[in-house]
Chains A and B, each alone.
Chain A
């Protein structure tokens, strides 16, 4: 569900998409009448995750965007979640509702690793 949500956003550059994501998040939180954490983006460029360690509140949706000319595949360390192969410009989103540390890597280039710290 989160994956298709991200794909609804026009592919008009990561920065614009991010801004739209934020705008939609604000809109959704306003319309629902309760607080919703701002969403976050992790860029994949030059075979690295940026930021390599992301700290955020539980309930945040993280979107990975591949800016490399080579596909990457985001996978939790033990495969608890896994994207499909992300070609250039492709995105993958995942919502983290439980506090804790999530370790992930690129299942195609496993030396690429990243961490998400989910705060309660």
Chain B
């Protein structure tokens, strides 16, 4: 924790009951804590975990790219192993984990196998959504759906409820159109409208998908063409949290009752939008890699309290 760097984002206010109270991005994964009770002040990661023993926590990991072996990270399996070690070290056991896609690099069976075996060591139930790298086998997603599609709709979308929160996992990486961005498609949007029917406005919503549902940077394809249609359906809810991956770096914003976050990769960093000729694996000196895959914690409290972000590097 020596190298914890704190960055307080003052002025981002969250004012709603049932909001995500405490969101801790642990290492290359993200720890999310929810509590319907009294807000707590959260300090360093360890204190936060201890304080939340009675709360509800879940983890997010993303973009493990198993099979990637290029200079940006010759050992993507090794860094996923480090991330899973962080997950196992969490003191108050999270309820489950979500993986926001690009589990594999090339959708190969052995890549899926290695990822499943390693992630399985966390001992947590894992809810997956696919990234575009998980849908490039000859069957265009067949291998992913065989593994993770059971009980899902269409091309692997689904919802579930836990601790009073409604979770929605979407697939925005299938049947992409020339010149476009990520895409949900009319079938999935119709399903979403139906899924939300009858849900009370006070139900906290967490929606997760691989490519950001909001436009982070269109020139690099970092957005979803019909994402706004999904977000419009979610506007009536008092608390909506949108979790994505794909861009291998943390970007966040708060807009009305919606909080948007993208998670880091466990495999390799990508450049910040517009700072390089193109997106793609960014090679940094080996000793710096883990500082690009650091720890970030986000703490959202009730009642006009600012949203606080804490970044901690893994280099220490």
Binding site for B on A (CB under 8 A): 46-48, 68-71, 73, 75, 77, 84-85, 87-88, 103-105, 107-113
Contact = CB atoms under 8 A, between A and B. Distances in A.
Interface in B69-95: 70-72
A113 B221 CA distance: 12
Given A71-B133, A104-B178, 12 more contacts: A46-B278, A46-B280, A70-B281, A71-B105, A85-B106, A85-B107, A87-B106, A108-B136, A109-B132, A110-B181, A111-B180, A113-B179
A103 B136 contact: no
B220 A111 contact: yes
Nearest to A69: B70
Contacts of B178: 75, 77, 103-105, 110, 113
B146 interface: no
A47 B219 CA distance: 11
Contacts of B138: 84
A85 B280 contact: no
Given A47-B279, A68-B280, A85 B180 contact: no
A73 B179 CA distance: 14
Overall SS of chain A's interface = loop
Contacts of B233: none
Interface in B127-144: 132-133, 136, 138
Contacts of A47: 220, 278-280
A69 B72 CA distance: 9
16 contacts: A69-B71, A69-B281, A71-B106, A73-B136, A84-B136, A84-B138, A108-B132, A108-B133, A108-B176, A110-B177, A110-B178, A110-B181, A111-B180, A111-B219, A111-B220, A112-B221
Interface string B216-232: 00111100000000000
A111 B136 contact: no
B226 to A, nearest CB: 13
Interface in B239-291: 277-281
A84 B177 CA distance: 17
Interface in B111-133: 132-133
B277 A110 contact: no
B106 A110 contact: no
